[in-house]
Amino acid sequence: MKPTVSIITPCYNSQHCLSETIDSVLSQTYDNWEMIIVDDCSTDESAQIISQYMARDSRIRYFKTEVASGSPATPRNMGIDNATGEYIAFLDADDKWLPDKLERQLCFMEDTQCDFVYSDYEKIKSDGERGNRVVRMPQKATFWDVIETCVIPCLTVMIRRDTIGKTRFKYVSKEDFVFWLDILKKDVVAYNVGEVLALYREQPQSRSSDKMAMIKEQWHILRNIEGVKTPVAVYFMMKFLFHGFIKYLK
């Protein structure tokens, strides 16, 4: 029997692009999946849109947080807690996948028996327009690789559920970054399947566009969450800034 992939999608006031996101899952060439959409108390038409899709496809499941958390951590954790698949993939409500995303990653994981994969991706504008702005990711990522470059966008990831175990997203800034570090601490190595499989929608006011906030968050994570000693933290901050500058030039 084909393994099930549980797709975790946090949602908050995503009515303008949610249909595109769900459609990209429905278009997957690999069909043994469940899509767990967790609504963080949206005030727009997101719940109605999800309900319409649920009426058409039983693989789509809906959950709602008790109160608005204001962070993707709570919806993602609720999604993981309710997942039934052997594999977990993450897709935010404003991003999209290319049709063979699940199939290509699952084949890679089954062939190599690795526990954690990601992929290259393409940036698209907020209106969905594509411009061939491809981001090539490193071939593999260890704990220290991720500390150095802050790689691995959430929408590109697939992880074995057994590898996640009891690990959950923490309620901190850059919660996905910290989550990857917690997984990689288990002597896990993440691998890039080497293809563009996801489309990341850039938002004009996204947190990732605030460069100074990103620098402060990175330092806080290194020193206060990961407990990296000051000289080592300074070294990796310099490398983080260097990689960020190179990325800016591109």
Q: What is the pLDDT of residues 25-46, one digit of tens each?
A: 999 999 999 999 999 999 999 9
Helix (H) or strand (E) holding 225: none
* Whether pTM exceeds 0.85: yes
Percent of the residues in the chain that have a pLDDT greater than 70, as a whole number: 94
Whether residue 205 has pLDDT greater than 80: no
Mean pLDDT, range 187-193, rounded to an integer: 98
Identify the CA nearest to 200 among candidates 248, 115, 140, 135: 135
Whether residue 207 has pLDDT greater than 70: no
What is the spatial distance between Cα 143 and Cα 146, in angstroms, rounded to a whole number? 5
Q: Which residues contact 44 (CB under 8 A, 6 or more apart)?
A: 13, 14, 15
Q: What is the pLDDT of residue 149?
A: 78
Q: Do the beta carbons of residue 154 and residue 90 sit within 8 Å?
A: yes
* pLDDT tens track for 100-151: 999 999 999 999 999 999 999 999 998 888 887 999 999 999 999 998 876 7
Q: What is the pLDDT of residue 236?
A: 82
| Block residue for tokens 């977990």 | 88
Whether residue 248 has pLDDT greater than 60: no
Q: What is the pLDDT of residue 25?
A: 99
Q: What is the pLDDT of residue 245?
A: 57
Q: Is 41 left (phi over 0), alpha (psi -120 to 50) or beta?
A: left
Helix (H) or strand (E) holding 106: helix 101-112
Q: Average pLDDT, whole number, for the chain?
A: 92
Q: What is the pLDDT of residue 89?
A: 99
Residue with more model confidence, 192 or 208: 192
Q: What is the pLDDT of residue 40?
A: 98
Lowest mean pLDDT among 14-28, 178-192, 229-243: 229-243
**Secondary structure of the chain in HEC code, one letter for each residue:** CCCCEEEEEEECCCCCCHHHHHHHHHCCCCCCEEEEEEECCCCCCHHHHHHHHHHHCCCEEEEECCCCCCCCHHHHHHHHHHCCCCEEEECCCCCEECCCHHHHHHHHHHHHCCCEEEEEEEEECCCCCEEEEEECCCCEECHHHHHHHCCCCHHHCEEEHHHHCCCCCCCCCCHHHHHHHHHHCCCCCEEEEEEEEEEEECCCCCHHHCHHHHHHHHHHHHHHHCCCCHHHHHHHHHHHHHHHHHHHHC
Mean pLDDT, range 14-34, rounded to an integer: 98
Q: What is the pLDDT of residue 212?
A: 80
Residue with more model confidence, 164 or 228: 164
* pLDDT tens track for 54-95: 999 999 999 999 999 999 999 999 999 999 999 999 999 999
Q: Which residues contact 157 (CB under 8 A, 6 or more apart)?
A: 89, 90, 116, 117, 118, 180
Mean pLDDT, range 232-236, rounded to an integer: 84
Lowest mean pLDDT among 15-29, 154-168, 190-204: 190-204
